[in-house]
C-alpha cells in the first residue's frame, strides 16, 4: 500500500484545478502517493500524468439534475412526521411542511396517501382510520376528524428534492451560483439501469482514474433542515431517508407483514441509535442491508471490470452498507475511507474486515469554517492526531488523507509543517510494527448494549464524533478503550442470553436509563440477570457507567445493584438511611493525583450491600464505588469523559474487575499523561505523550523500570523491548 521506502506513501492529498504546481510541490514534500478531488473541486488534467494513484469522488445519487427532473417518481424519499397538534374541536387541519425546508423536501402526492401515510392520536397511541382524514393537496394540509384536546400527528412521505450533503456543503461554504443537486433513487428500476450504464461510460471516459471513491452508495443518513436552513434532525445512523413505496412493497413480501410508517418515524424519534430498536426496525435494517449490499456489488463489479479499485466513503449515503453487518463483505470493495474525528471513529474504520485496506481522513477538513480569522487549524490538527494516534497504535489504518481545498491549507503559516509531523509519525508506526499486532492483556473486555457487534465503536454517539453534553460522559469510555491494550468485543443482550463467551473477563454497560446503550427492558429478563450474576460470581468483572442495568422494577432501579454495590435514589427510598462513607485507599486510585472528573456525572447514587468500598463522593452520594461479588468484582463510575487521567482510571478499573492487577505492570508507564504500546514480534515499544506539555515518565517491563523518559509535548518515542534480552 505504501511506497517502497518507509518515509513516502500511505498518504492522499486533495487537489483542485487552480493549484497544480502547489499540489505537485506538496505531493513531493509530504511523499503523497495519491491525489483526490472532493465536492466542489475538480481533478486537473495536468495532474493525471503524475506517478500517483488518482481517486475520483463518484456520486451514484446526485450530480445529474436532468435525469432526476425527467423521472420525478424515482427521486429519493423520506418519511417525515408533522408537528404534534392538539385538537380543540372535532376537526383539525395539520399543515404537513410546517417547520421543514421546502427547498429540500416536497410532499409526495404521486403515491396514495391512504396506503403509505398514517395519522396517529398521540394521546391514546391509536391509529386514526383512513376514512377519518383527508389530504388537501392544494393547501398541503391533512384534515382529521378529532376528539377535542387529543394530540395528533401525520406521518407522510416526502421527496428529497435537494441532496442533503450538497445542501450542507452549499450552506457551509456559502456557494452562491451552484445549482441545487436533486437526488434519485438507484434502487428503482429505470434509475438502477441508468446508473449502471452511466458508471460504465464514466469508467471508459476516465482511464487515468485508479480509484473510484463512491460517496457513498444509495441512501443518505437522515439529515433534515428546517425552514430557516438550520439542521433540524441529524442521525448518522438514520434509515428514514431510505424508503419509497417501491422499496416498502418489496420489504412487505420479504418480511411477511404489512409495513407501518410508525416503524420509521417512531413517535418522532426516528429510531435514533439511543432508542431500543423494535423487531420491525431491525427487520427493515436487515432487509435494506441485503438489498443495498447486493446492488453495491453490481457497481463494484463494473468498476473492477475496468481494472479500477472501488472505495467506499463511510458517510453520506452509507445507509444499508453497515460495515459490521452480515452482508458488507459481499460487496467486494477494495477499501473503505472515513472521517477520523476521534479514537472511536478511527477504530470504527480501522477494525473493518472484508476490504483490502482502510483509509482515514484526518481533521481539520480544509474548509473556510476552520481556515478563517479566529480559526485554529493547527490546534485542531494536533488535538485530532493525539486522539487518533492512541487508537492507530492498537488498530492501524493503512492510509491517511485530507479533504477540502488544498489552497486553504498551503496558505496557512505552519500548517503544512504540522501535517509533515503527523505523516512522519504515521509512517513510523507502520515501519515499527511491520504488520504485527500490539500486545493486549490476556483477556477480552466486552461492551454490552442492544446493538452488539453490528454497531462496533458506534455506541453513545448522536453524530460522528460531535460533542454533546448528554453523551460525552458515556462516550468517553469508548474513547478511552479505543487506545487501550485490550481486545474489545461488542455484545448484545441476545449474546448474554445465549451464554457469555469464555475469553471475556470484563463486561461494561454504559449509558442513560431506558436507552439502547443501557438496555432498558432487557434488565428485567431473568436470563440476562442470572447469566451476568453467575459470570461475576464465578470470577468475572462488571463495570457500570452512568445508569447501568437501570429499569424501575421490584424495589430496585439498578437491577444488578447486588453486583454493582450501588443503586440510584429515585425518591422512593428516602426514608431508608444510607450510611455512605468514603475510603479512597485502593488499587484503582494509585496513579491518580488531584480531582477526579466524572463529567456530567449521575446524581443520587448510593452504595449498598455488605461488600462495597466508596472511592469518591459528591456530598452524601457516591461517584466511584467498587464491590466484591462472590469471586468477582464490579466498579461503578458516575461518568467517565475522555481524558488521559480517566484512561488510567479505566485501565486500573479493568485490571481490578478482571482480578488480574498483577498483569498491569507487564508493560506500564508511570505518568498518566503517557501511554505505552508494545509490538512484541518486532521488539519495538512506542511511548506517547497525550498532552500539550512536556512529560517525565518511567516505562516498566515485567514490573521493573526499564526506561526513564522525558517527552516533548505530544511526542511519540520508540524504544526497544528488553523483555527478551
Beta carbons of 274 and 266 less than 8 angstroms apart = no
Reduced to 3 states (helix: H, G, I; strand: E, B; else coil), residue 37 is coil
Alpha-carbon gap, residue 615 to 633, rounded angstroms:
14
Reduced to 3 states (helix: H, G, I; strand: E, B; else coil), residue 480 is helix
* Contacts of 704 by beta carbon, 8 Å cutoff, 6+ apart: none
Alpha-carbon gap, residue 608 to 561, rounded angstroms:
8
Alpha-carbon gap, residue 486 to 507, rounded angstroms:
12
SS (H, E, C) 658-707: CCCHHHHHHEEECCCCEEEEEECCCCEEEEEECCCCCEEEEEEECCEEEE
Grid coordinates standing for 181? 443537486
State the CB neighbour count (10 A cutoff) for residue 462.
Answer: 18
113's enclosing H/E stretch is helix 113-116
Nearest Cα neighbor of 52 from 30, 68, 67, 69 is 30
Residue position matching grid coordinates 460525552: 472
Distance separating the N- and C-terminal Cα atoms of the chain: 33
Alpha-carbon gap, residue 377 to 364, rounded angstroms:
6
Reduced to 3 states (helix: H, G, I; strand: E, B; else coil), residue 358 is strand
- At 220, give phi and psi (nearest 5°): -75, 140
649's enclosing H/E stretch is helix 644-657
Alpha-carbon gap, residue 142 to 92, rounded angstroms:
8
**Active site positions, annotated:** 316
Alpha-carbon gap, residue 701 to 173, rounded angstroms:
51
For residue 374, CA distances in Å to 371, 379, 386, 412 come to 8, 12, 22, 12
Name the β-bridge partners of 313.
337
State the CB neighbour count (10 A cutoff) for residue 604.
Answer: 17
Grid coordinates standing for 399? 492510509
Grid coordinates standing for 435? 504488520
Beta carbons of 371 and 349 less than 8 angstroms apart = no
Alpha helix ranges (H) inside 142-210:
164-172, 189-205
Q: Is the peptide bond before 581 cis (omega within 30 degrees of 0)?
A: no
Alpha-carbon gap, residue 667 to 654, rounded angstroms:
15
Alpha-carbon gap, residue 295 to 301, rounded angstroms:
10
* Contacts of 464 by beta carbon, 8 Å cutoff, 6+ apart: 236, 315, 339, 341, 345
- DSSP letter for each residue of 210-231: -EEEES-SSBPPEEEE-TTSSE
Alpha-carbon gap, residue 576 to 677, rounded angstroms:
48
Alpha-carbon gap, residue 239 to 281, rounded angstroms:
9
- Report, in angstroms and rounded to the nearest whole number, the Rg of the chain calculated over CA atoms: 27
Amino acid at each position: 500500500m505504501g511506497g517502497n521506502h518507509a518515509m513516502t506513501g500511505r498518504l492522499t492529498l486533495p487537489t483542485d484545478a487552480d493549484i497544480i504546481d502547489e499540489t505537485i510541490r506538496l505531493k513531493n514534500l509530504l511523499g503523497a502517493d495519491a491525489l483526490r478531488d472532493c465536492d466542489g473541486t475538480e481533478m486537473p488534467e495536468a495532474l493525471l500524468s503524475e506517478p500517483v494513484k488518482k481517486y475520483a469522488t463518484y456520486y451514484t445519487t446526485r450530480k445529474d439534475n436532468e435525469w432526476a427532473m425527467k423521472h420525478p417518481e424515482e427521486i429519493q424519499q423520506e418519511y417525515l412526521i408533522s408537528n404534534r397538534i392538539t385538537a380543540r374541536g372535532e376537526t383539525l387541519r395539520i399543515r404537513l411542511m410546517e417547520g421543514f425546508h421546502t427547498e429540500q423536501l416536497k410532499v409526495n402526492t404521486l403515491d396514495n396517501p391512504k396506503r403509505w401515510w398514517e395519522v396517529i392520536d398521540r394521546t391514546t397511541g391509536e391509529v386514526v382510520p383512513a376514512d377519518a382524514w383527508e389530504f388537501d393537496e392544494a393547501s398541503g394540509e391533512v384534515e382529521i376528524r378529532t376528539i377535542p384536546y387529543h394530540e395528533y400527528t401525520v406521518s407522510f412521505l416526502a421527496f428529497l428534492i435537494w441532496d442533503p450533503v450538497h445542501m450542507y456543503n452549499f450552506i457551509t461554504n456559502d456557494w452562491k451560483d451552484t445549482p441545487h443537486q436533486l437526488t434519485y433513487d438507484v434502487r428503482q428500476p429505470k434509475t438502477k439501469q441508468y446508473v449502471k450504464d452511466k458508471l460504465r461510460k464514466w469508467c471508459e471516459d476516465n482511464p487515468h482514474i485508479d480509484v473510484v471513491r463512491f460517496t457513498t452508495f444509495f441512501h443518505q443518513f437522515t439529515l433534515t433542515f428546517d425552514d430557516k436552513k438550520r439542521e433540524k434532525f441529524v442521525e448518522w445512523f438514520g434509515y428514514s431517508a431510505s424508503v419509497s413505496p417501491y422499496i416498502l412493497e418489496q420489504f412487505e413480501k420479504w418480511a411477511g407483514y404489512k409495513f407501518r410508517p410508525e416503524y420509521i418515524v417512531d413517535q418522532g424519534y426516528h429510531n435514533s441509535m439511543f432508542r431500543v430498536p423494535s423487531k420491525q426496525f431491525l427487520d427493515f435494517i436487515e432487509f435494506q442491508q441485503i438489498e443495498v449490499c447486493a446492488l453495491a456489488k453490481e457497481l463494484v463489479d463494473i468498476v473492477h471490470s475496468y481494472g479500477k479499485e472501488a472505495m467506499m466513503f463511510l458517510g453520506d449515503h452509507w445507509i444499508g452498507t453497515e460495515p459490521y453487518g452480515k452482508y458488507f463483505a459481499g460487496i467486494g470493495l477494495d477499501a473503505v475511507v472515513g472521517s477520523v474525528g476521534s479514537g472511536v471513529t478511527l477504530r470504527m474504520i480501522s477494525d473493518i474486515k472484508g476490504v483490502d485496506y482502510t483509509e482515514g481522513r484526518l481533521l481539520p477538513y480544509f474548509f473556510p469554517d476552520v481556515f478563517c480569522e479566529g480559526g485554529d487549524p493547527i490546534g485542531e490538527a494536533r488535538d485530532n492526531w493525539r486522539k487518533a494516534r492512541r487508537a492507530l497504535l492498537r488498530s492501524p489504518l493503512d492510509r491517511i488523507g485530507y479533504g477540502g481545498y488544498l489552497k486553504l491549507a498551503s496558505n496557512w503559516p505552519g500548517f503544512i509543517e504540522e501535517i509533515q509531523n503527523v505523516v512522519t509519525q504515521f509512517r513510523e508506526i507502520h515501519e515499527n510494527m511491520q504488520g504485527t499486532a500490539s500486545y493486549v492483556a490476556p483477556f477480552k473486555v466486552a461492551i454490552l448494549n442492544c446493538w452488539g457487534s453490528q454497531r462496533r465503536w458506534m455506541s453513545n454517539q448522536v453524530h460522528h464524533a460531535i460533542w454533546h453534553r448528554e453523551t460525552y460522559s458515556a462516550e468517553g469510555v469508548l474513547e478511552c478503550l479505543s487506545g487501550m491494550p485490550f481486545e474489545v468485543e461488542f455484545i448484545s443482550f441476545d449474546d448474554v442470553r445465549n451464554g457469555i463467551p469464555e475469553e471475556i473477563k470484563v463486561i461494561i454497560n454504559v449509558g442513560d436509563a431506558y436507552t439502547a446503550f443501557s438496555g432498558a427492558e432487557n434488565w428485567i429478563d431473568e436470563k440476562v440477570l442470572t447469566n451476568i450474576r453467575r459470570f461475576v460470581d464465578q470470577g468475572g468483572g462488571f463495570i457500570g457507567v452512568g445508569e447501568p442495568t437501570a429499569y424501575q422494577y421490584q424495589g430496585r432501579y439498578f437491577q444488578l445493584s447486588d453486583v454493582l454495590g450501588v443503586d440510584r435514589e429515585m425518591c422512593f427510598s428516602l426514608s431508608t438511611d444510607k450510611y455512605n462513607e468514603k475510603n479512597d485507599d485502593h488499587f484503582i486510585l494509585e496513579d491518580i493525583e488531584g480531582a477526579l472528573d466524572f463529567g456530567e456525572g449521575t446524581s443520587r447514587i448510593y452504595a449498598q450491600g455488605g461488600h462495597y468500598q466508596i472511592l469518591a463522593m459528591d456530598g452524601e452520594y457516591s461517584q466511584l464505588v467498587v464491590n466484591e461479588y462472590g469471586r468477582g468484582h464490579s466498579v461503578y463510575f458516575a461518568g467517565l469523559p475522555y481524558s488521559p487521567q480517566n484512561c488510567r482510571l479505566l485501565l486500573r478499573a479493568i485490571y481490578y474487575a478482571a482480578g488480574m492487577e498483577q498483569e498491569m505492570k507487564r508493560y506500564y508507564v508511570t505518568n498518566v499523561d503517557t501511554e505505552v504500546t508494545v509490538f512484541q514480534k518486532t521488539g519495538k515499544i512506542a511511548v506517547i505523550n497525550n498532552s500539550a506539555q512536556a512529560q517525565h515518565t518511567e516505562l516498566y517491563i515485567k514490573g521493573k523500570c526499564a526506561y526513564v523518559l522525558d517527552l516533548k509535548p505530544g511526542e511519540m518515542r520508540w524504544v526497544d523491548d528488553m523483555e527478551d534480552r
